[in-house]
Amino acid sequence: MLSYSNLRKEPKLLRAFTGLDEAEFLELLLAFDRAWKADERKRANKRQNRQRKAGGGRKLGLELMSDRLLFILVYMKLYPIQELQAFLFGLSQSQANRLIQRTAGILQAALQQMGHLPERDGQRLKQVLAQCETLTFTQDGSERRRQRPKKNQEVYYSGKKKCHSVKNHLVVHPDNLRVWFLSKTVPGSKHDKKIADEAALSFPDHAVVEQDTGFQGYEQDNIIIRHWDSPVLVDTDSGYITNACC
């Protein structure tokens, strides 16, 4: 059975299962604990007239807060089916389902407290990115498999991946690898450039935006587009990076 007390002894496995090292996990655990207690208070206020004694009813499982955080991080990182997630943590499938529903919202609240959630509004992105020390960013699409839907199967079928999938558009700072923007989730058949256009992204003036050929034709005033497969040059007049095809 997976538990934090076991995984902390195996740093490589902890990172493989959660994407975090021990120091990052413990920092997130503090915020997760605060968010959980805030959620408990909110639930208690809604149940002031309850007849059943507090603590009664079905049990969530995983008494330790560190194991609850590990549970949802493993689910978000590996995205196993719920039967497998339940087996890994010694739960029933129904317990795993309830725990996923609850801990996902609490994890989001914890990340919000820490200021780690990416921007979701493309028009506000310019203001958010302006705080970065260097104005070089990478934009790309992130595509992942999904189960074949019962309806509209052709919409979710990705000819590139040869499977049914969904995708998001990301804007990442290459130095700290932080995701600064995350678009809404769309079917995998949608083209990367179209997602970027619909998101109406706004970058700071003179920002360097690196992208692959999936964004061919994407342009924006007052920024410099750099394609990964293009020779990099420096504009001697402005001092900004450009590329040979511009």
Residue identified by tokens 């924006």 is 220
Does the structure show a pLDDT above 70 at 233?
no
Put simply, whether the predicted model's pTM sits higher than 0.75 gets the answer no
pLDDT digits (tens, 9 = 90+) for 25-54: 999 999 999 999 999 998 888 766 666 665
Q: What span, in angstroms and rounded, lies between the C-alpha atoms of 227 and 244? A: 9
* pLDDT value of position 187: 92
- Confidence grade of residue 5 (pLDDT, cut at 50, 70, 90): very high
Residue type, 216: Q
Contact 224, 242 (CB under 8 A): yes
Q: What span, in angstroms and rounded, lies between the C-alpha atoms of 137 and 129? A: 9
- Confidence grade of residue 214 (pLDDT, cut at 50, 70, 90): confident
Q: Percent of the chain at pLDDT above 90? A: 61
Q: What span, in angstroms and rounded, lies between the C-alpha atoms of 57 and 87? A: 22
Does the structure show a pLDDT above 70 at 235?
no
pLDDT digits (tens, 9 = 90+) for 167-188: 999 999 988 888 999 999 999 9
* pLDDT value of position 60: 72
* pLDDT value of position 176: 82
Long-range pairs, 87-91, Cβ under 8 A, ≥24: 88/1, 88/2, 89/1, 89/2, 89/61, 89/62, 90/1, 90/61, 91/61, 91/62
Does the structure show a pLDDT above 90 at 213?
no
Give the residue from 71, 78, 88 showing the smallest Cα distance to 36: 71
**SS3 label, residue 61:** coil
Q: Percent of the chain at pLDDT above 70? A: 87
The pLDDT of 7-22, averaged and rounded, is 94
pLDDT digits (tens, 9 = 90+) for 94-103: 999 999 999 9
Domain ranges of the chain: 4-47+58-114, 122-243
Q: What span, in angstroms and rounded, lies between the C-alpha atoms of 100 and 82? A: 9
CA 104 to chain centre: 12
pLDDT digits (tens, 9 = 90+) for 113-138: 998 899 999 999 999 999 888 999 99
Q: What span, in angstroms and rounded, lies between the C-alpha atoms of 28 and 68? A: 12
pLDDT digits (tens, 9 = 90+) for 143-164: 888 888 888 888 899 888 889 9
Per this entry, what is the length of the chain? 246
Please provide the DSSP assignment of 185-226 as one string: PEETTS-HHHHHHHHT--PPTT-EEEE-GGGTT---TT-EEE
Contact 110, 73 (CB under 8 A): no
Give the residue from 79, 80, 187 showing the smallest Cα distance to 141: 187
Average pLDDT value for the chain: 86
Task: Mark 13-30 as b/e (b = at least 16 C-beta within 10 Å).
Answer: ebbebbebeeeebeebbe
Does the structure show a pLDDT above 50 at 10?
yes
Task: Mark 107-129 as b/e (b = at least 16 C-beta within 10 Å).
Answer: bebbbeeeeeebbeebeebbebb
Does the structure show a pLDDT above 70 at 86?
yes
Task: Enter the tokens of residue 55.
Answer: 């603590």
The pLDDT of 201-205, averaged and rounded, is 92
Does the structure show a pLDDT above 90 at 111?
yes
Residue type, 227: H
- Confidence grade of residue 241 (pLDDT, cut at 50, 70, 90): very low
